[in-house]
Structure 1
Amino acid sequence: MFSKKIYCIALVFFAFLLKAQNAPIQISFSKNEIKNYEAVLNQEKSFEKDTVALKNFLKPLYQNKNYSVFYEALLANGYSNFYNAVNKKSDFHYQQSIKKAVLLKEQSIEIWTQLNYVSYLYYYRDFIKMTPLLLKVIDKIEKLPAEKIILPAESFKKIGWIMQTLGDYKEAAYYLDLAQKNAPKKSIEYASITNAIGANYLHTSDLKKAEYYFLQTAKLSQEIQNKVRYAKALGDLALVKQKQGDFKSAISLVKKDISISKAEKSYQNTMYASILLAELYLDDNDFTKADQALKEAENIVYSKTYFEKSELQIIQLKLRILQHQNKADEELILRRRMLVLEDSLKNKDGDMAINKVNWMIQKEKFQQNINRTNEQYKNEISIKNVYAVIIILALSLLIFLIFNFKKHLKNRQIEYSEKVFSLKTEKIKNEQKLSEANENLDAHAAHLKEKNNQIKSLRSEINQIKNSSHSDSEKENLNILLESHLMTEENWKIFKKEFQKVHPEFHRLLEEDFPELTDSNKRILLLQKLNFNNTEISELLGITPDAVKKSKQRLKKKLGDKFNILFEHISSKIS
């Protein structure tokens, strides 16, 4: 009874696990779209040969217009796992994902879909077909900041790996460095990138740095409990020891690599490690063990069509063994197979293919440099044209301003001429009035009052144009006109004659009792007698009001007590 209960519980638990494994993919809806895409892609898993389960798993993506592009891409990856080779179904869905990405007009998705297809072609060693698309990805990804790239660490790592395989170690180092900067420190991704950086240094014969990065990979792999990555790091450390001539240490490391890889069922890594072990045994002149290691590798090589390059390596190593054993017949058979492989690889995974790819890359880079130079030249021409237009507009504006200024100046000149003419006319009229009123002091005084108003008007005009654009000669003309309004010697004589007629007693008083008075004093006193104030006197005499005040103060000091007597007469109505 109890065993039945246990069985039922186990059955329910198994069913729950099975349901959880077959649960459809989840779509996130946060504000950060890049993170949403990454959340979907991080749920990708292998369904081996069960494509129906794969489609059910991806169904939510198919039903969402914005995510159907990922449905096509992940379905293509699933068919790749199913066929374990380049196949038409995968090719079709990869192309569909790229087309949909272009329609979405999102650069980040477009880059990811193209790089996903590049990874597929790289995995199955179709370098010639891969390269044009890879170059497009590189051109686009360089223009985007990391935060706008989907899975930036993985994307940069893939490009770094590919460039390393193609022998462009400088470019590989650049992208692997970017990958490392964008990967979480304690992660499988970081360990993988660190290992790739070590491999890059190994290819450039910097053994010290290569060993450092492989040791860092091994340490991190143990910390995160990734046994396969740890095994690969041991194999890479064996390569360093091989180059250093320490075959014993290298063999020991590779054996550990193979042991872990077999236990973890990492057949591809087991194959690579077995080939390396055979090579190390040959370097150490142990041909029997080398042959045994190659047989281990052969079992895996013949299971996959895309391992042709590894098969070629095995044949080359076996030929070394046969040459030592003097087995000419077997050697001939292997050489025939080697020619077939070399012919097959020349356009895929061989040295000829890699050289052709490198030529394509260099050609594309050269073309990109030409395009950049042309673009720069066009930009410079555009900038020069803009500057030319600005200069022309500036010159046109300057000419307009000069023309407008001259027109304004001409109008001001006309206004000025009319004003001067009007003032001169007024002066002539006043002079005529003065001539007609010679025998009448009251008329003369009224004329002086009017003249005083004209002097004020002239002074106001002069002040207005002091800082204006009028010429000095125009200002001088106004000053001359102003001076002509002031009391001249001739006007003074006429005024004095009329004054004597009206105020004979006052005039006699000045001449007899105040002989010390100057002609200037008399002019001020006579005008004051006619009730002109200090300002009006100053305007007529062409001096300042302060000068009039100071003249009176000096006169008071000179006359003493007589000053008060004098001003009593001025204030009185005595003529």
Structure 2
Amino acid sequence: MLLKNNFLKPYLLNNYRRSFLIIFFLLFCATNIFANTNAKLVNDFINENKEVLEPATINKNYLRKAKTFKTHDSQVLQVVSKVLQAEAYSKNFDNINNQSISLYMEALSEAEKINDENLLVYVNTQVGFFYYSYNEYIKAIPFFIKSSNLLDKNTIQDLIQPADVYKKNAYFFGSVNEHQKSIDYLLKALTFTPSNSKLYATFLNNIGSSYYKMGAVENARNYFIKAKEVSLENNDKVRYAKTLGDLALIHFDQKQYQEAITLLQQDIEISIQNNADRNTMYAQILLTKAYVETNEFDKAKQTLALANEYVLSKEYLKSHAYEIAQINLAIALKTNDTVLELQARRALDVLGADIVTKDGQEAIKLVGWETQKEQFNTKLEAEKAKVEQANLKILIICGIVVFIIVVTIFIVRSIQLRFKNKETQYEKNILQYKINQLQSKSKLDEYDLTLKSYQSYLSDQNKQMDLIENELDKLNTNTVSKDQAKLFLQELLDQQKMSGTNWLALKNTFVKEENDYYNALLQNFPDLSELNLRIVILNKMDLKPAEIALVLNIKVDVVNDALQRLRKNFKGRFDNH
């Protein structure tokens, strides 16, 4: 828990003006609570137009409908219409395009003005999935964070397109390795899906994939088998083929290569018959890996060439092109094919720079880190929302006027009593430190990850640590609730320290900006330990010993001693670097 209520109240109730702002906010919520989205109306409109590929036709359908509805419903339908038009452009271009982006941004802006949670969940999900579909993970994350936060509040009774919303959120969070969250969303999606729907097998299949990625192989196998059975019952041949490929993946991991090959060949045959090109590609890549393991290199090359043909036709499949290059390199090394080895290494060099910020493993790691930061930064807002929305139902039942009077009296008395207490100043200081910490992290989020932005961030962090340590010294002389406050301050100090994931992100930024220096360092000082290598890198960034200690989560004395030993052992060469 970020902040306890007794720490929040002095901040929220520190003057009369803030008190009345809270009251007016509650009044605003009360007057707008009855203007919720008509989910049935919206769902009917979406179902009627989701297969339409002409944006102009969708807009005409909206204009015809809008004439018969009241203002609020008409505004909501306009937002939904723009989302559907954006999706139509996306299907037509099969790529990121300006028309879709423009319509999505207009829809999002209008949805925020309407301020309906149901509509905001739907729009943010669709925008996020647009970027996710073309492997733009980092661009997708803010939208899925917003939709997920609203979904997790469980305050929306009738979701717009519930199965689709839960499905798309599940796919994204599964892709950034939040597999349990993905499973939870998929299970909810199942509750809105008839068992005779093709989506039912799809959700079962994806739950199995999440369990597989979590290492729960038996759970994964059971869900794959269930999905296989349901897809046969529903005559869903493409999903049936995909389940064969997923079962083959388990056999592959267990080194049962012939079983995997048989299943993958069936998967490919069915996928080709049903024009499931992307699934065909996935199966061909895995089949190639199986052929490499069984030393059937000619078959591997032929199958990989077919997969590569599809990959090259799509600009957004560079991570799969990178995977194909890796397989080619493995084949070249096993067959001593120097020409293929050279081609593969060149492809890896070219593609590596592209996928690191999009759909490669490094991008997924970065998105995972960004996800954690975004979730952390929203916790304070969530706590504020809880305070602002407390007793909202009681307010509506008892009457707005009575509620205003009671709350106003309570707030005034609370302010008068709390400012007589000696602990108030300590609580305010503690909260301010927490806010400063969040603001410092937010600054780092607002800028591109550069060495300069990291230096500014770490400088802010060190100033905050000094303030917190001074406050701890003061509390040592105060016996009133000292233990509780000290525990909270110590928690703040611990949260200032950077995790291993954050260090990797910082290191990646350094290597990107100082690549020549980094390579020279590895060549000239091959005996450097990992800790010393980190210290040298951070020293190169002109970080002070205290800042280096913060990044590496070690004591300042350790940093100073290490720097002295480096200078002594390398006799001046270290200073030149």
Distance change >3 Å, CA 147–CA 256, structure 1 → 2: farther
Contact 2:166 2:186 in 1 (8 A): yes
Matched residue, 1:38 = 43
Answering whether residue 134 of structure 2 is matched by residue 124 of structure 1, we say yes
Q: How far has the Cα of 1:359 moved from its partner?
A: 0.9
Paired with 1:385 and 1:282, the residues of 2 have a C-alpha distance of: 77
Q: How far has the Cα of 1:142 moved from its partner?
A: 1.8
Structure 1 SS opposite 2:39: helix
Matching of residues 169-208 of structure 1 within 5 Å: 169-208=179-218
Q: Any idea what the Cα deviations from partners look like across 1:467-524, whole Å, max 9, x if unmatched?
A: xxxxxxxxxxxxxxxxxxxxxxxxxxxxxxxxxxxxxxxxxxxxxxxxxxxxxxxxxx
Answering whether residue 258 of structure 2 is matched by residue 253 of structure 1, we say no
Q: How far has the Cα of 1:376 moved from its partner?
A: 7.3
Paired with 1:92 and 1:199, the residues of 2 have a C-alpha distance of: 34
Matched residue, 1:340 = 350
Q: How far has the Cα of 1:154 moved from its partner?
A: 1.8
Contact 2:121 2:150 in 1 (8 A): yes
Matched residue, 1:240 = 250
Paired with 1:377 and 1:145, the residues of 2 have a C-alpha distance of: 15
AA matched with 1:39: D
Contact 1:115 1:137 in 2 (8 A): yes
Matched residue, 1:435 = none
Distance change >3 Å, CA 57–CA 246, structure 1 → 2: farther
Distance change >3 Å, CA 291–CA 54, structure 1 → 2: farther
AA matched with 1:161: Y
Paired with 1:376 and 1:107, the residues of 2 have a C-alpha distance of: 15
Distance change >3 Å, CA 227–CA 354, structure 1 → 2: same
Matching of residues 283-298 of structure 1 within 5 Å: 283-298=293-308
Matched residue, 1:300 = 310
AA matched with 2:42: Y
Aligned match for 1:386, one of 410, 429, 453: 410
Matched residue, 2:450 = none
Q: How far has the Cα of 1:164 moved from its partner?
A: 0.9
Paired with 1:210 and 1:97, the residues of 2 have a C-alpha distance of: 38
Answering whether residue 70 of structure 2 is matched by residue 60 of structure 1, we say no
Matched residue, 1:166 = 176
Paired with 2:210 and 2:227, the residues of 1 have a C-alpha distance of: 14
Higher gyration radius (CA): 1
AA matched with 1:37: V
AA matched with 2:359: D
Matching of residues 466-481 of structure 1 within 5 Å: none
Q: Any idea what the Cα deviations from partners look like across 1:61-83, whole Å, max 9, x if unmatched?
A: 67654411122111100111111
Aligned match for 1:216, one of 226, 237, 250: 226
Matched residue, 2:103 = 93
Structure 1 SS opposite 2:99: helix
Q: How far has the Cα of 1:145 moved from its partner?
A: 4.4
Q: Any idea what the Cα deviations from partners look like across 1:366-410, whole Å, max 9, x if unmatched?
A: 223344567779999x999939949999xxxxxxxxxxxxxxxxx
Matched residue, 1:315 = 325
Q: How far has the Cα of 1:59 moved from its partner?
A: 5.4
Q: Point out 4+ residue stretches in structure 1 off by more than 6 angstroms.
A: 374-380, 382-385, 390-393
Paired with 1:188 and 1:284, the residues of 2 have a C-alpha distance of: 35
Matched residue, 1:570 = none
Matched residue, 2:376 = 366
Distance change >3 Å, CA 384–CA 43, structure 1 → 2: closer
Residue identity over aligned pairs, in percent, reads 29
Distance change >3 Å, CA 332–CA 42, structure 1 → 2: same
Contact 1:61 1:68 in 2 (8 A): no
Contact 2:108 2:124 in 1 (8 A): yes
Distance change >3 Å, CA 146–CA 197, structure 1 → 2: farther
- Unaligned 5+ segments in structure 2 are 1-35, 68-73, 391-405, 418-577
Q: How far has the Cα of 1:235 moved from its partner?
A: 0.8
Q: Any idea what the Cα deviations from partners look like across 1:138-197, whole Å, max 9, x if unmatched?
A: 111222446321121221121111111111112222222222233222212221111110
Q: How far has the Cα of 1:283 moved from its partner?
A: 1.9
Paired with 2:151 and 2:362, the residues of 1 have a C-alpha distance of: 28
Give the root-mean-square deviation of aligned CA atoms.
3.0
Distance change >3 Å, CA 333–CA 103, structure 1 → 2: same
Q: Any idea what the Cα deviations from partners look like across 1:250-304, whole Å, max 9, x if unmatched?
A: 1111111111111111111111111111111112222111111101101111111
**TM-score after normalising by structure 2:** 0.58
AA matched with 1:105: N
Structure 2 SS opposite 1:367: helix
Contact 1:114 1:137 in 2 (8 A): yes
Structure 1 SS opposite 2:357: coil
Paired with 1:372 and 1:51, the residues of 2 have a C-alpha distance of: 37
Matched residue, 1:531 = none
Distance change >3 Å, CA 143–CA 391, structure 1 → 2: closer
When structure 1 is superposed on structure 2, of 142-151 and 211-220 the one drifting more is: 142-151
Contact 2:37 2:76 in 1 (8 A): no
Structure 1 SS opposite 2:291: helix
Matched residue, 2:426 = none
AA matched with 2:192: N
AA matched with 2:189: A
Distance change >3 Å, CA 388–CA 221, structure 1 → 2: same
Contact 2:284 2:307 in 1 (8 A): yes
Matched residue, 1:478 = none
Q: Any idea what the Cα deviations from partners look like across 1:107-132, whole Å, max 9, x if unmatched?
A: 21121111111110000011111111
Aligned match for 2:336, one of 307, 323, 326: 326
AA matched with 1:386: F
Number of residues paired by the alignment?
A: 361
Paired with 2:348 and 2:51, the residues of 1 have a C-alpha distance of: 34
Matched residue, 1:110 = 120
Distance change >3 Å, CA 201–CA 392, structure 1 → 2: closer
Distance change >3 Å, CA 345–CA 59, structure 1 → 2: farther
Q: Any idea what the Cα deviations from partners look like across 1:542-568, whole Å, max 9, x if unmatched?
A: xxxxxxxxxxxxxxxxxxxxxxxxxxx
Matched residue, 1:438 = none
Distance change >3 Å, CA 107–CA 376, structure 1 → 2: closer
Answering whether residue 232 of structure 2 is matched by residue 228 of structure 1, we say no
Structure 2 SS opposite 1:368: helix
Distance change >3 Å, CA 60–CA 188, structure 1 → 2: farther
Q: How far has the Cα of 1:47 moved from its partner?
A: 5.4
Structure 1 SS opposite 2:157: helix
Q: How far has the Cα of 1:205 moved from its partner?
A: 1.7
Contact 2:37 2:116 in 1 (8 A): no
**TM-score after normalising by structure 1:** 0.58
Paired with 2:376 and 2:291, the residues of 1 have a C-alpha distance of: 44
Q: Any idea what the Cα deviations from partners look like across 1:396-449, whole Å, max 9, x if unmatched?
A: xxxxxxxxxxxxxxxxxxxxxxxxxxxxxxxxxxxxxxxxxxxxxxxxxxxxxx
Distance change >3 Å, CA 206–CA 56, structure 1 → 2: same
Distance change >3 Å, CA 145–CA 240, structure 1 → 2: farther
Q: Any idea what the Cα deviations from partners look like across 1:211-238, whole Å, max 9, x if unmatched?
A: 1101111111111111111111111111
Q: How far has the Cα of 1:103 moved from its partner?
A: 2.9
Contact 1:46 1:81 in 2 (8 A): no
Contact 1:73 1:97 in 2 (8 A): yes
AA matched with 1:213: Y
Distance change >3 Å, CA 187–CA 32, structure 1 → 2: farther
AA matched with 2:151: I
Q: Any idea what the Cα deviations from partners look like across 1:81-109, whole Å, max 9, x if unmatched?
A: 11111011000011111122223332211
Distance change >3 Å, CA 377–CA 80, structure 1 → 2: closer
